[in-house]
Amino acid sequence: AQSVTQPDIHITVSEGASLELRCNYSYGATPYLFWYVQSPGQGLQLLLKYFSGDTLVQGIKGFEAEFKRSQSSFNLRKPSVHWSDAAEYFCAVGGMEYGNKLVFGAGTILRVKS
């Protein structure tokens, strides 16, 4: 069965500092991996996705993620955080055989201090 673990419930970083949000997945076949962001009272917005090919994926808003099959990880990174990045971030896994069903992690709340 699919599962996603985001070990950090909250993370606080200073504005301008680098960011890494961790995500580990469990999936029997080749996973499709996603990072979404949710601002308070809003729906989810896709930051980036990985299906195959280059394991370093570039997304919107300056985010990137690296797929590491050996570690079952798909960590999200940003070199310099802006105050507007404060939100909740969700990692998700899907696969061809599950249609559009995604399994989400519990989320990581990012706080940015000035």
Q: Does 90 bind other proteins (CB under 8 A)?
A: yes
**Is residue 45 part of the contact set for other proteins (CB under 8 A)?**
yes
Burial class (CB in 10 A: 0-12, 13-18, 19+), 14: exposed
SS3 96: helix
**Shortest separation between residue 93's beta carbon and other proteins, angstroms:** 10
How close are the terminal C-alpha atoms of the chain, in Å? 41
Place of tokens 């949000």: 21
73 within 8 A of 24, measured Cβ to Cβ = yes
Pattern 21-40, other proteins, x by CB under 8 A: -----------x---x----
If binding is defined by CB under 8 A, does position 57 make contact with other proteins? no
Q: Is 101 in the site for other proteins (CB under 8 A)?
A: yes
Footprint of other proteins (CB under 8 A)? 32, 36, 41-46, 49, 51, 90, 92, 94-96, 98-107
